[in-house]
Amino acid sequence: MAAGKKPDFKAFKRLLEAERENLLEVSENTAEERRPVELDQQSVGRLSRMDAMQVQAMAQAVEVRRRGRLRRIEIALKRIETGDYGFCTSCEETIPVKRLEVDPATERCVDCAQ
């Protein structure tokens, strides 16, 4: 999309929906990593359990970020449906298409995001 051109809402909607599906699939595929680490001292040593707990903590932190991104995508999709997409939620000015191309889920213009 060229600068100064109006946003192609259908294209942004497709991008957002594809990203949402990808994030949900990754979340489902990594669910096992976020499960509680069981205390089974016969099959897992103390250091191995600590390593497993560290992997679990990192997986949970990634999931928190993933869920935050999913929330932003859902908000952007709702804004497309209501006709508010492409406008800054702070100053209500138009968000440049180039900014939307970088992050279709963005809610603010460059000035308000700082």
CATH number at residue 55: 1.20.120.910
- Domain span at residue 62 reads 9-113
Structural domain count of the chain: 1
SS3 for the chain, per residue? CCCCCCCCHHHHHHHHHHHHHHHHHHHHHCHHHHCCCCCCCCCCCHHHHHHHHHHHHHHHHHHHHHHHHHHHHHHHHHHHHHCCCCECCCCCCECCHHHHHHCCCCCCCHHHHC
Output 1 or 55, whichever has higher pLDDT.
55
pTM for the model stands at: 0.78
Assigned domain for 4 exists = no
Tell me the range of 29-33, 46-50, 53-57, 97-101 where mean pLDDT is highest: 97-101
Residue 103 lies in a domain: yes
